[in-house]
């Protein structure tokens, strides 16, 4: 069963990356999707990242109760956790729910109302026209959101630490700047790129092959989110094992 679906997924991807009929029309769609995925998710990701950063600072401070450890370490731990794991993974899991379900249900509705059949009869490569702009928008906008998420998580940590008294702003800033390794950001961006691809392609796949009516579209959307989340966690483990 798994191999049947995986084979079908690969065949869909093969069709998705066929040469577009007209780049100008695809470009318009890509810009539209970048706006939907990127700008449309900005507020949610900003709120989540800021609060996670603030909470992380307080929890690290709570666990590091020792006179032997300088409080600037709180900033260091928060920085590395946010860059390497929390920002890419939490952002991706949240977007799998928000963006993934929207993609599945949009494409699924088009399938059950014969709009995809209409595209195919016109001679348009339906997987390319419907899925390629979403994948390209996902792999460009999700890394941007992750960068923003890292920045806001660190800012949230600064504010949360200062308000709670867990760490002074000066110690925190010294912690996040000391011993910073740029490579960790590269790891985060690789993760974001892969997660962006997984979220958009898996959700589109579940929507594209839906059969039935509104009920099946809802079920496909849920399955798309679940499979995306599992795939994100597996990919997270593999990338971490390979790159660190």
Partner 1 sequence: MIEVQNIHKSFGDNHVLRGIDATFEPGKISLIIGGSGSGKSTLLKCMVGLHRPEQGKVLYQNEDFTRMDFEARIPIRKEIGMLFQNSALFDSMTVEQNIIFPLEMFTDMSRKEKVDRANFCLERVNLAGSNKLYPAELSGGMKKRVGIARAISMSPKYLFVDEPNSGLDPETAIVIDELISELTEEYQCTTVVVTHDMNSVMGIGDHIIFLYKGKKWWEGSNKEIAHSDVEELNNFVFASPFMKAAKERF
Distance CA 182, CA 82 (A): 13
Q: Is there binding between residue 25 and partner 1 (CB under 8 A)? A: yes
Distance CA 109, CA 111 (A): 5
The site map against partner 1 for 224-243 (x = CB under 8 A) is --------------------
By CB under 8 A, name the one of 59, 81, 125, 140 that touches partner 1.
125
Structural contact between residues 208 and 12, judged by C-beta atoms closer than 8 angstroms: yes
Taking CB under 8 A as the binding criterion, the range among 55-63, 123-131, 197-205, 221-229 that sits at the site for partner 1 is: 123-131
Structural contact between residues 83 and 181, judged by C-beta atoms closer than 8 angstroms: no
Select 32 or 178, whichever has its Cβ closest to partner 1. Answer: 32
Q: Is there binding between residue 21 and partner 1 (CB under 8 A)? A: yes
Taking CB under 8 A as the binding criterion, the range among 52-60, 111-119, 155-163, 195-203 that sits at the site for partner 1 is: 111-119
Q: Is there binding between residue 209 and partner 1 (CB under 8 A)? A: no
Kindly tell me the burial class for residue 4, based on how many C-beta atoms sit within 10 Å of its own C-beta (0-12, 13-18, 19 or more).
Answer: exposed
Distance CA 37, CA 183 (A): 26
Select 124 or 233, whichever has its Cβ closest to partner 1. Answer: 124
Instruction: Supply 176's token pair.
Output: 């996040």
Residue bearing tokens 């990356």: 17
Q: Is there binding between residue 115 and partner 1 (CB under 8 A)? A: yes
Q: Is there binding between residue 178 and partner 1 (CB under 8 A)? A: no
Helices 115-122 and 126-164 cross at an angle (nearest 10°) of 130
Question: Smallest Cα–Cα separation from 193: which of 55, 88, 53?
Answer: 88
Distance CA 234, CA 240 (A): 10
Instruction: Supply 33's token pair.
Output: 């999707």
The site map against partner 1 for 67-106 (x = CB under 8 A) is ----------------------------------------
Q: Is there binding between residue 40 and partner 1 (CB under 8 A)? A: no
By CB under 8 A, name the one of 43, 123, 179, 182 that touches partner 1.
123
By CB under 8 A, name the one of 11, 114, 169, 183 that touches partner 1.
114
Q: Is there binding between residue 211 and partner 1 (CB under 8 A)? A: no
Residue bearing tokens 């249900």: 105
Binding site for partner 1 (CB under 8 A): 15, 18, 21-22, 25, 109-110, 113-115, 117-118, 120-125
């Amino acid at each position: 069963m798994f191999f049947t679906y995986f084979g079908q997924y690969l065949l869909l991807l093969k069709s998705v990356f066929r040469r577009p009929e007209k780049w100008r029309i695809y470009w318009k769609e890509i810009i539209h999707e970048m706006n939907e995925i990127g700008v449309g998710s900005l507020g949610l990701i900003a709120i989540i990242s800021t609060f996670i950063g603030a909470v992380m600072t307080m929890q690290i401070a709570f666990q590091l109760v020792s006179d032997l450890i300088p409080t600037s370490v709180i900033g260091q731990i928060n920085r590395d956790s946010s860059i390497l794991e929390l920002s890419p993974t939490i952002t991706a899991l949240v977007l799998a729910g928000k963006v993934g379900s929207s993609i599945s249900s949009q494409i699924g509705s088009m399938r059950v109302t014969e709009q995809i059949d209409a595209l195919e009869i016109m001679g348009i490569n339906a997987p390319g026209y419907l899925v390629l702009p979403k994948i390209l928008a996902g792999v460009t906008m999700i890394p941007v959101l992750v960068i923003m998420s890292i920045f806001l998580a660190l800012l949230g940590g600064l504010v949360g630490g200062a308000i709670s008294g867990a760490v002074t702003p000066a110690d925190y800033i010294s912690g996040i700047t000391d011993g910073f390794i740029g490579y960790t950001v590269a790891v985060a961006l690789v993760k974001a790129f892969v997660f962006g691809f997984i979220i958009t392609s898996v959700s589109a796949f579940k929507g594209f092959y839906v059969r039935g009516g509104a009920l099946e579209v809802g079920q496909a959307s849920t399955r798309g989110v679940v499979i995306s989340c599992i795939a994100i966690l597996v990919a997270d483990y593999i990338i971490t094992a390979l790159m660190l």
